[in-house]
Amino acid sequence: MPELFFKTPMESKHPEEKGKVYDLIILGGGPAGLSAALYAGRARLDTLLIEKNLPGGQISITDWVENYPGFPEGITGLDLAKKFEDHARKFGTRIVLEEVVDVDLKSEPKIIKTSQGEYRAHAIILATGNEPRKLNIPGEEKFKGKGVSYCATCDGPFFKDKDIVIVGCGNSGVQEGLYLLRFVKSITFVERLQCHNAEKILMERALKEPKMKFYYEHELVSIDGKDKVESVTAINLKTKEKMVIPVQGVFFYVGLVPKTEFLRGKVDCDPYCYVICNENSCTSVPGVFAAGDVRMKDVKQIVTAVAEGAIAATMALKYLEGKKEM
């Protein structure tokens, strides 16, 4: 193998050192980013991972994971995220918790600007994932943190013995609703489709719960109250009849949007702002790869994100090898 840019973990220096250039920078510390970091570290790439929040991404705020291979009894999302992080760190990846605000992906080396500094690397993996979609209905922003939530694991204990609404009857909504049952008095699901779109095994559990009820073909139109949530208003999409539901909390699970705001105009994205890449994770910019839920795809699962992270790191390695041979 020709000599590359790689250094062993012990040779890594502080990123603020003048002239410091990493082999690889990974943006995002979810399953895809941490998997990429593991593979890059084992390949002895000098790797930096930048994550805005805690490593683990969406799984770190997921109560329970029971469809990831190797854990037949299930595992908490937080525990699985920690295992991913520890595995990546074992092979030398440095992780910093900073927000990326801008990038220059066409320079050489490529430049990543964060809220606290500037980093450079010869290759980049985009694994920023996604975040909860908002409906932007009246009261949603006003009552955020005062009864409106997007994270059952984070906020569930605050709703002990309360009546709540969950907007969305997909996998996330139903699974998090089952978790919330340990705290709340009742849960009303509001779903605009004709039926649920959650996995059968989740609905089998949910339909056995007397504290849960479901309104299909309904849409939430407002969240009402004075200083905190007191009720919500929903509309029947068939009859156009409105109804008021007295509740003290609203949890939103109406899909996710990619965290690509800082990438606009820097790399090709589809109309929904997901990064476009081929089966080898290559984007429109040489030396820039994408993995996980930030990329355009149909299946968004932990296991697919992990696989894509491995592919992206492998392709980054090949890119760097080819670059050195030029």
The residues that are catalytic are 151, 154-155
Segment (H or E) for 258:
strand 256-258
For 250, the enclosing helix (H) or strand (E) is strand 249-252
- Residue type for position 200: K
Distance CA 290, CA 55 (A): 18
- The residues that bridge with 186 in the sheet, in sequence order, are 163
Q: Where are the alpha helices (DSSP H) in the chain?
A: 31-42, 77-90, 152-155, 171-180, 200-206, 302-325
Residue 155 DSSP code: H
Give the pair of three-digit tokens for residue 107.
Answer: 């320079």
Task: Return the bridge partners of 154, or none.
Answer: none
Cα-trace Rg, the chain: 22
How distant, in Å, are the alpha carbons of 58, 162, 236, 239, 284 from that of 242? 34, 23, 6, 9, 47
85, 56 in Cβ contact below 8 A? yes
**Nearest 5°: phi and psi at 72?**
-60, -25
- Beta-ladder partners of 51: 97
- In 10 A of CB 162, how many CB atoms? 17
